[in-house]
Structure 1
């Protein structure tokens, strides 16, 4: 379990993180969301002892990171996939980590296989890795010691769609086995696909936290679904009759309703659905609203 207790970090007159408190529990994926520069990375660096706190504290399993013996066996960390010696091969990087943690060399092969790096790729030097390969190697290094806690900063950077799906499955399985996952990102959609809970940060302060349903309910947000069918006109009429707002969205419809409500309306109207997904509009609007003061694009749009 990770506990962040009234954490503050100042750099001279600049406050990067201010009075931040939250907890990440075993068996759950916690999404740490915010625009670039919101304070996510600073908070995570304090967690793992790379940056000292100005006030407050962070504990992992009840201990400060610096006091955990052989920390790689308890906490897996990926903050910067390029933060390894560029002249070493992927296999050498993992082998050094295994030696430092007192692990058998067979663990290196297990991790390379787990993250999908081939023998040929493992023999390449890090400088010749793509960003996606560096991310896979970084995830392998984080998992090397079979830790109970994972702290990952933007792990989807550089991964292709198949790689992102693979990562989601890997982290979901890890949490389902009782692991604690803290996953930071500025990409709302990727996190909401996997996170059990979300923490939204803007300008160094927590602006909201909870699961998707409670976040929307607390701000009066509405559910949204995207749907396509063999008869959109008939489906739209059935949804409207049931009291749901319906608007065209490309080849389909956007509906102010949950996916379950859309499915039930389609069943009652005997319309065949060809696609149905969470529209995410309510949560996205909530995220943009709560972090608007730290969104760079909003500033540029006013010029």
Structure 2
């Protein structure tokens, strides 16, 4: 279990992490989400003893990372995939890790196979690795000691769609066996597919945390995109219930939650071909909660076009 209590890190007058607290439970993947510079990496560096906190405490299994004997056997860490000696091969990097942890050499081959690095790739110099290969090797190194806890910072960077799906399955399987996973990312859609719990951070402070359903249930406004075999019939049924309805592309936008639209359609035996939230789901919630630290804004015209084509 990972436990963070009142954690703060200041650099002069700048506060990178501001009094945050959370728990990551065994058997779960916890997504740690936030814009670039939100404090995710600083928090993870504190967890593994690379950065000292200004105040507060971060423990793994009830212990500071520095207190854990042979920590690689208990905690797998991937903070920077490129932080390896460029002149060593992937196999040499894993072999040195295995030796430092007191593991048999056979463990190296097991990990190379697990992350799908073939013999030619394993014997290639690290400086000649692609970013995706570096990520795979980093994950192999994190799993080398068969740890009970994984701490991974942006592990999907550089992976192609097949690689991201592979990583998703690997981490989900790890959690299903009782492992604890803390996974940081700014790729919300990818983490949403795997995470059991979500922690949203912006400007060093936690702005929301919980599972996806509970986070979305706290949003005040609900609206729906819907398309029926007979949109006119659906419009009549929805307006009869007092719902605001407008056209959106080939379908309708209704200012009420999807379940109410579905109920109205069922009561009137109307066949639907599309029914989904128009509020943007978790992505919209995330952007709204961290809007003061976002670098980019979506132009109003682009947002309108997107909604109309949905």
TM-score (norm: length of structure 1): 0.86
Higher mean alpha-carbon deviation, 236-245 vs 104-113, is at: 236-245
Shift of 1:236: 5.2
Kept in 2: contact 1:224–1:282 (CA 8 A): no
TM-superposed CA distance for 1:280, in Å, is 7.7
**Cα separation, 2, equivalents of 1:61 and 1:238:** 59
Alpha-carbon distance in structure 1 between the residues aligned to 2:7 and 2:205: 10
Q: Secondary structure at the match of 1:193?
A: helix
- 1:52 matched to 2:47? The reply is no
More deviation, 85-94/215-224: 215-224
Where does residue 291 of structure 2 map in the other structure? 292
- Determine helix, strand or coil for the equivalent of 2:52: coil
> 1:198 matched to which residue of 2?
198
Shift of 1:283: 1.4
1:165-194 deviation line (CA, Å, top 9, x unaligned): 001000111111111000000111111111
The total of aligned residue pairs comes to 293
Q: How far does residue 245 in structure 1 lie from its aligned partner after superposition?
A: 6.4
Indicate the SS of the match to 2:194: coil
Superposed CA deviations along residues 249-290 of structure 1, whole A, max 9, x for unmatched, are 6x888887569x869969x6556x6x8888781211111111
Q: Whole-Å Cα distance in 2 between the matches of residues 185 and 71 of structure 1?
A: 24
- Matched residues in 2 for 1:238 and 1:119: separation? 63
Q: Does 1:34 align with 2:39?
A: no
Instruction: Map residues 58-207 of structure 1 onto 2, 5 A cutoff.
Output: 58-207=58-207
- Distance change (3 Å), C-alpha of 1:218 and 1:119: same
Structure 1 residue 298 displacement after superposition = 3.6
In 1, Cα distance between the equivalents of 2:165 and 2:264?
A: 28
Cα gap change, 1:289/1:120 in structure 2, threshold over 3 Å: closer, same or farther? same
Q: Distance in 2 between matches of 1:72 and 1:180?
A: 14
Distance 1:76 1:134 in 2: 16
Q: Is the 8 A contact 1:238 1:265 kept in 2?
A: no
Deviations 1:2-23 (A, max 9, x none): 0000000011111100101000
Aligned-pair RMSD on alpha carbons?
3.0
Q: In 1, distance between residues paired with 2:6 and 2:199?
A: 15
Q: 1:191 to 1:236 in 2, by over 3 A?
A: farther
2: CA distance, partners of 1:191 / 1:280: 19
Measure, in 2, the Cα distance between the counterparts of 1:220 and 1:282. Answer: 12
Q: Residues of 2 paired with 1:182 and 1:257: CA distance? A: 32
| Structure 1 residue runs without a partner (length 5+) | none
Residue aligning to 2:220? 220
In 1, the alpha carbon distance for the partners of 2:230 and 2:143 equals 47
Unaligned residue ranges in structure 2 (runs of 5+): 301-310
Change in Cα spacing, 1:217 to 1:84, as seen in structure 2 (3 Å) is same
- Residues 193-272 of structure 1: pairs in structure 2 closer than 5 A: 193-220=193-220, 222=222, 233-234=228-229, 241=237, 248=248, 269=270
Aligned ranges 1:275-286 → 2 under 5 Å: 281-286=280-285
In structure 2, what is the Cα distance between the partners aligned to 1:263 and 1:75? 48
